[in-house]
Amino acid sequence: MEGVETTCGSRILEGYVPPYDATVVRKLKQAGAVIVGKLNMDEFAMGSSTENSAFGPTMNPWDLSRTPGGSSGGSAAAVAARLVAGAFGTDTGGSIRQPAALVGCVGMKPTYGRVSRFGVIAFASSLDQVGPFAQDVRGVAYLLGAVAGHDNDDQTSSPRPVPDYAAGLDRGVRGLRIGVPREYFGEGLAPEVERAVRAGVEKLRSLGCEIRDISLPNSPHAIATYYIVATAEASSNLARYDGVRYGHRAKATQLLEMYEKTRAEGFGAEVKRRIMLGTYALSSGYYDAYYLRAQKVRALIRRDFDQAFATVDAVLSPTSPTTAFKLGEKLDDPLAMYLNDVYTVPANLAGLPGISVPCGFDSRKLPIGLQLIGRPFDEETLLRIARAAEPSDCPLPPVLEGR
């Protein structure tokens, strides 16, 4: 956003004030939105708990000792805590859907190319997509309609016309076929989460949906694939933060020393880890074994979905394997953190639209979300199903009770 310091939660962008509006911001302003402020996130959107922020962690309004998920945890928490009517985030591997699930609001990642990425600070360009958070599906439909559409400044944005997403929300779901992939209900899924998601399935069945057991056999490879593709692109996207033109610059007398110190001081541990992973994956001699191979698996994951959509209209799964976890709980275990996105990452790799809607609470009164994944550019059907699946009321988080 023009004139407002923008750091992506990173020290390396300290003091950086963009001289231009992102297309999404321009469209929101044109639509009359009142932009209140910017929200916390994991540094460069790398993380699943909003703890990797130079500003410190964001807390979950349902339990202040827990994380709101991430990376767009600030956006999710602000919506859940009723601070704003809606918010935006980016979703590269689940960064909108997972925090939406963990704070009990609705969050949507549109089809890759549906919303312009111009002005959106890149993490992994082939996966990143901007999407809205709101208290309910209708709010998400309005917000998506305001920002979707082709943009000459983003050549990966789609020229397809943008439908009125809110118009068909209440048309019902009778006759729609919902696929439930067995690979998304396996090891690591908390029983309470599974129970709530299956209850959501039954709700849709009772509303006239046809429920089908399906298989997405390559989805279990999604996390491994994602951490090659996303880190490779990130290693290149983050090369511009070198201290030469803007943001943090370390004191040094030589160029190489300036580069090294600036990046050592400016980036946090998780960002450094991913830059190193990605640099390695693209290195001469390793490119074929890692990057190229990951692209092949990515194509297989996409093909699984193509085949599934021949027989179903949407795919339903848990959004996240667990409810909100404690602050600090997974900080020392990156792999455990990465597994938060096990159900959300496939939609990014396949470029498909995905949405998380609340589907109940666990025994600790922590929100649970279910995920719906749709055909490319069929956000309309997805929103319609989500509307049918969402609860009729949105309870207030305890942090707001008694105030």
Partner 1 sequence: MPVADFEPVIGLEVHAQLLTRSKIFCGCSTQFGAPPNTQVCPVCLGLPGALPALNRAAVEMAIKAGKAFGCTIARRSIWARKNYFYPDLPKGYQISQYEVPICSGGAVPVPGLGKIGLERIHLEEDAGKNIHTERGSEVDLNRSGVPLIEIVGKPELRSAEQASEYLKAIRLALIYLGINDGNLEEGSFRCDANVSVRPKGATKLGTRVELKNINSFRFVRQAIDYEIARQVELIESGGKVTQETRLFDNEKSVTRPMRSKEEANDYRYFPEPDLPPLVVSQELLDTVQVPKLPQAIADELITAGVPQADARTIVSDPRLVDTHRRIGGDPKRAALFVVGELARAVNENEADLGALKFDPALVRDVWKLQDGGSISSTAAKEVLGELIRTGEAPQRIVERKGLAQVSDEGALEAVVDAVIARNPGEVEKYKGGKTNLLGFFVGQAMKELKGKGNPGVLNTLFRKKLG
**CA–CA–CA angle 185, 191, 192 (5° rounding):** 120
Looking at the Cβ atoms of 145 and 278, the one nearer to partner 1 is 278
Question: Interface with partner 1 includes 156 (CB under 8 A)?
Answer: yes
Among 47-55, 94-102, 243-251, 320-328, which window interacts with partner 1 (CB under 8 A)?
Answer: 243-251
CA dist 149 and 115 (Å) reads: 6
Task: Establish whether the linkage from the previous residue to 65 is cis, with ω within 30° of 0.
Answer: no
Gyration radius of the chain over CA positions: 20
- Figure out which of the listed residues 11, 126, 192, 273 binds partner 1, where binding follows CB under 8 A: 126
DSSP result, 74-109: HHHHHHHTTSSSEEEEE-SSSTTHHHHHHHT-EEEE
Looking at the Cβ atoms of 62 and 88, the one nearer to partner 1 is 88
Query: By rule CB under 8 A, what string of x and - marks binding of each residue 262-301 to partner 1?
Result: -----------------x--xxx--x---x----------
- Figure out which of the listed residues 78, 96, 102, 121 binds partner 1, where binding follows CB under 8 A: 121
Within 10-39, the residues that bind partner 1 by CB under 8 A are: 13, 16, 18-20, 22
Among 180-188, 216-224, 240-248, 379-387, which window interacts with partner 1 (CB under 8 A)?
Answer: 240-248
72 half-sphere exposure, CB direction, 13 A CA radius: 34
CA dist 104 and 369 (Å) reads: 7
Q: What are phi and psi of 4, to 5 degrees?
A: -115, 125
Among 150-158, 298-306, 375-383, 386-394, which window interacts with partner 1 (CB under 8 A)?
Answer: 150-158
Among 134-142, 190-198, 228-236, 316-324, which window interacts with partner 1 (CB under 8 A)?
Answer: 228-236
Structure token pair of residue 95? 């960064």
Please list the alpha-helical segments (H only) found in 207-333. 222-237, 255-266, 269-282, 293-308
Among 119-127, 318-326, 349-357, 383-391, which window interacts with partner 1 (CB under 8 A)?
Answer: 119-127
106-109 β-sheet, strand order: 86-90, 130-134, 106-109, 354-361, 367-374, 314-318, 177-181, 210-214
Question: Interface with partner 1 includes 203 (CB under 8 A)?
Answer: no
Closest approach of Cβ 233 to partner 1, in Å? 6
Question: Interface with partner 1 includes 337 (CB under 8 A)?
Answer: no
Crossing angle for the helix pair 293-308 and 222-237, nearest 10 degrees?
A: 120
- Figure out which of the listed residues 30, 155, 206, 392 binds partner 1, where binding follows CB under 8 A: 155
Q: Are 188 and 343 in contact (CB under 8 A)?
A: no
- Figure out which of the listed residues 105, 147, 148, 232 binds partner 1, where binding follows CB under 8 A: 232
274 half-sphere exposure, CB direction, 13 A CA radius: 30
- Figure out which of the listed residues 35, 36, 167, 255 binds partner 1, where binding follows CB under 8 A: 255
- Figure out which of the listed residues 62, 118, 338, 343 binds partner 1, where binding follows CB under 8 A: 118
Cα-to-chain-centroid distance, residue 217: 23
Give contact residues for partner 1 (rule: CB under 8 A): 6, 8, 13, 16, 18-20, 22, 117-122, 124-126, 152-156, 232-233, 235-236, 238-240, 242, 244-246, 255, 259, 279, 282-284, 287, 291
